[in-house]
Structure formats: C-alpha cells, structure tokens
C-alpha cells in the first residue's frame, strides 16, 4: 500500500497510476475520508481532555449535578464520534488497499499484454530438418506421463511426470537452486500452507476483505489456513514487524515450494500439455533491500533468470510489461519468454518485479538507516524456475527426430552423465 501522506501530497500522481494501470480512481474519496478521520481524532482527543477535567472537578464541587450532566453529555458525544471514527477508518483502510503502486516513469503505458515492449532477443531459433513435435507428443511417445489416468484419479489440471522426464524436472530444480546459492542467495524450503493474511500482505489483492482471494486461492475448509500460490508469499513475511540494519541489506532468498492456484480465470486456456495446473513447483528469487538498491537488484534478478535460460540452451526474449499488464503492486516488471517451436511463439517462463515499499508497508518490515531513522524496505521478486512449465521449451527445443531429447550440458552431471533421454527403442 502507499503512504497516506504521499497520497495527500501527490493526488495527481496517484490518480494517474490508477488510470494507466486500469484501476478505479478512489483518490478523492480517500482524501475526503482522511480529512474527516483526522478531524474526528482531534475532536475526540480534545473532548476526552475536557471530560477528564470535568471529572476531576466533581469531587470538590458544591453543586455536582451540572458537572455530572456535562460529563455525561460530552461522554455521549465522544462515544458517537468514536463510532463514526471506527466506521470511517474501516472504509479508509479498505480504500487505501485499493490504490495501486505507482509505476516507474519509464514503464510502457498500455492496457494489456498486447502493449508490452520487447527489450531484446537472445539465442538462435533452431532450424529443424524434421517437423518438431509438440510437448504432449514427446511425453506420449516416451511414456513420460499419463494425463487421462491422473485426471481420473486427481481431477482436472493435475499432472504426474514419470521416468526420465521426472528426473529431468528434478535436475532443473536442483541446478537452479545450486546456481542461486552460488550467487549469495539463502535457500529456503518454504511451506505451502499459510494464513490468508500472509497472502494478503504480499499485495496481490485489492481491498481489506480477505474473501476477495477465494476465487484464486485454495482455502482449507475447517481451518484458518490456505495454500500459497508462490514462495514469494512466505518469503515476503519472513521479516514482518522487524527492524533490519541497513548494513544487512540486500538480503537475498531462493525459496522453493509446491505452489497451488485455482486458475479460476484461466478456464479453457492451456488445457493440454504442461503449462497450467492447480499444483506446480517453483524456485523463487526474493530480495529485501533499500529503495536506492532496488534498480540494481532488479537487474540482478532479471540477469539470473536470463542466465538460467542460457544454461538451459533456450532462445528467449525479455519483455518490458506495460502498466496495464504489470499488476496491482508493481513498480516495474519484465517477463522472460522462451521460444516454443511447435507453436512458433515465445512463452512466459518468469516475471521479474520491483514492488518498491508496497509490500513492506503491509508487513511493517523496516530498516534503520545510517542516520538512525527508520525506513520501509523495498522488495523484489523473480522466478528462478517454474516446473513443469519450463520443461515445455526444454523438451521441444532439444528434441530429435526419433523423439529423444538432448540434455543441456549444464544438466548432464545431475542426470548421471546422460546426454539424451527417451526416443524409440
């Protein structure tokens, strides 16, 4: 969320953020409510002091009745104003949580992903001397999955990889974790079960009513828990309520967890193959830093994912997401997309996001600067790798005519030295 003082002092900036991100403009309502809330606080404080003064005079008064009557009258006024204050503060809190983060000045302005801007392409797109198979054909012919059987057992949008494909997925996860550790990230195996407030604190949902998450989040019936859609949720709250030392920053985490999403808004999309499931695994990069370090950290996280694409020997491109596609809590965002030969398109494999102090205000995560003052941390996140989605370009780009798949050199040590898997036997 934003600082109320920033909204008071920069209403036009906030209004513009609402406009370019496609959210309702509630700035005028916030400012009017803020004025009334501050007025009520002053009134109740003044009247409480007056009531206390009257109360002190009562014992020594010759005629106590007028003072008692005055005390009761002012007490009722205080009660009425306190009730109004509680109502106004609740509405103000909800509206404050509906204001989007201010996008970076250089973020492309646009309505949706059609307005995103390509920053660069890396790697040569392979020219095949045969018709490349789609991911599901490679999985079928090698016996690397059983989608109908698993759907019958577990329901739609579930998967199970088998044999060498399952080994390859584990090798990819392990390689990325080891790479991030070598770059100074602290590895955290995160729980997937968490509290709704923890998800809310990550700032992906608007308003103060936690039930807004029900369409996207799996709630665990009969409990006060739910399933997280990314390790970012837990990592974001790791230092909730703490005051960090500026010398400790940046703090870098590599979180791994199974992730769970209802995908309610994805009906009919990517129903075939390994792209969109209710459960998947992800390695997440997450950083706490000072606002001045944020741009440097954004490039660091983005470059890590780009290096991973190159380690997996994948052609890819980097996208600058426009304001209408970057989401509620982002300052800026870059997608990294890998080439999918069977579709002839690039597909998103990860998103690098600068969130500014938006999340830290919700979790009250601060640091003490060299001047002794307290400041909210800036936070950033980026995918390390998400599987099985990442298997799609790996299988398709490295396939051979016989259905076998070449293993990228960086993964071969984690695959027992094998250079390829699958194929007709």
Chain-centre distance for alpha carbon 217? 13
User: Where does CATH 1.10.287.40 sit in the chain?
Assistant: 4-96
pLDDT of residue 205: 84
Given 257, 389, 396, 404, which residue is catalytic? Answer: 389
Task: Indicate if 240 belongs to the active site.
Answer: no
pLDDT of residue 2: 92
Tokens of 149: 């059987």
Burial degree of 60 (CB within 10 A; 0-12, 13-18, 19+): exposed
349 and 337 Cβ atoms separated by less than 8 Å: yes
- 378: number of CA atoms within 13 Å, CB side? 21
pLDDT of residue 46: 94
Q: Where would I find the beta strands (DSSP E) of 153-300?
A: 186-189, 193-194, 226-227, 243-245, 251-260, 279-289
pLDDT of residue 268: 54
Given 36, 276, 347, 368, which residue is catalytic? Answer: 276
354 and 380 Cβ atoms separated by less than 8 Å: yes
Task: Indicate if 389 belongs to the active site.
Answer: yes
Supply the pTM of this predicted model: 0.92
pLDDT of residue 269: 58
CA-to-CA separations, 337 to 122, 154, 205, 393, in angstroms, rounded: 10, 30, 25, 10
Task: Indicate if 351 belongs to the active site.
Answer: yes
Taking domain 4-96, whether its CATH number is 1.10.287.40 is answered by yes
380 and 325 Cβ atoms separated by less than 8 Å: no
* Fold that domain 113-422 belongs to in CATH: BirA Bifunctional Protein; domain 2 (3.30.930)
pLDDT of residue 377: 98
Given 225, 348, 368, 418, which residue is catalytic? Answer: 348
User: Where does CATH 3.30.930.10 sit in the chain?
Assistant: 113-422
User: First-to-last CA distance in the chain?
Assistant: 58
Given 98, 133, 261, 366, which residue is catalytic? Answer: 261
Task: Indicate if 347 belongs to the active site.
Answer: no
Per-residue pLDDT of the chain (425 residues; tens, 9 = 90+): 899 999 999 999 999 999 999 999 999 999 999 999 999 999 999 999 999 998 898 888 888 888 889 999 999 999 999 999 999 999 999 999 999 999 999 999 999 999 999 999 999 999 999 999 999 999 999 999 998 999 899 998 888 999 999 999 999 999 999 999 999 999 999 999 999 999 999 988 888 788 888 888 999 999 999 999 999 999 999 999 999 999 999 999 999 999 999 875 555 555 677 888 899 999 999 999 999 999 999 999 999 999 999 999 999 999 999 999 999 999 999 999 999 999 999 999 999 999 999 999 999 999 999 889 999 999 999 999 999 999 999 999 999 999 999 999 999 999 999 999 998 64
pLDDT of residue 271: 65
312 and 114 Cβ atoms separated by less than 8 Å: no
> 251-260 and 279-289: which strand pairing?
antiparallel
pLDDT of residue 254: 98
């Amino acid at each position: 969320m934003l600082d109320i003082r920033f909204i008071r002092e920069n209403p036009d900036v906030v209004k513009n953020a609402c406009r370019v991100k496609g959210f309702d403009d509630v700035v005028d309502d916030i400012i009017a409510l803020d004025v009334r809330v501050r007025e009520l606080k002053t009134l109740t404080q003044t009247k409480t002091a007056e009531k206390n003064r009257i109360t002190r005079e009562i014992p020594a008064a010759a005629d106590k009745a007028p003072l008692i009557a005055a005390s009761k009258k002012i007490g009722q006024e205080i009660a009425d104003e306190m009730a109004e204050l509680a109502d106004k503060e609740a509405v103000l809190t909800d509206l404050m949580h509906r204001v989007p983060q201010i996008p970076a000045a250089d973020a492309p302005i646009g309505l949706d992903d059609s307005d995103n801007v390509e920053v660069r392409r890396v790697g040569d797109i392979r020219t095949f001397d045969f018709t490349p198979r789609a991911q599901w054909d490679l999985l079928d012919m090698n016996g690397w999955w059983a989608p109908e059987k698993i759907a019958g057992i577990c329901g739609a949008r579930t998967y199970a990889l088998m044999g060498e494909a399952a080994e390859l997925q584990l090798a990819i996860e392990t390689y990325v974790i080891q790479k991030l550790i070598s770059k100074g990230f602290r590895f955290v195996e995160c729980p997937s079960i968490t509290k709704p407030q923890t998800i809310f604190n990550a700032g992906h949902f608007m308003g103060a009513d936690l039930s807004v998450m029900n369409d996207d989040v799996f709630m665990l019936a009969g409990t006060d828990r739910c399933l997280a859609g990314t390790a970012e949720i837990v990592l974001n709250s790791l230092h909730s309520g703490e005051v960090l030392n500026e010398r400790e920053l940046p703090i870098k985490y590599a979180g791994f967890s199974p992730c769970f999403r209802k995908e309610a808004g994805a009906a009919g999309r990517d129903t075939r193959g390994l792209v969109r499931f209710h459960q998947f695994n992800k390695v997440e990069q997450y950083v706490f830093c000072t606002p001045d370090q944020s741009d440097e950290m954004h490039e660091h996280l983005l470059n890590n994912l780009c290096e991973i694409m190159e380690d997996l020997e994948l052609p890819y491109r980097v996208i600058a997401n426009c304001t209408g596609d970057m989401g509620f809590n982002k300052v800026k965002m870059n997608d990294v997309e890998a080439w999918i030969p069977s579709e002839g398109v690039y597909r998103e494999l990860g998103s690098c996001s600068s969130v500014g102090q938006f999340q830290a205000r919700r979790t009250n995560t601060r640091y003490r600067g060299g001047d002794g003052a307290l400041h909210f941390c800036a936070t950033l996140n980026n995918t390390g790798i998400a599987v099985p989605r990442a298997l799609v370009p790996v299988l398709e780009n490295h396939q051979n005519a016989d259905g076998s798949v070449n293993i990228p050199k960086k993964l071969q040590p984690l695959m027992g030295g094998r250079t390829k898997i699958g194929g007709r036997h």
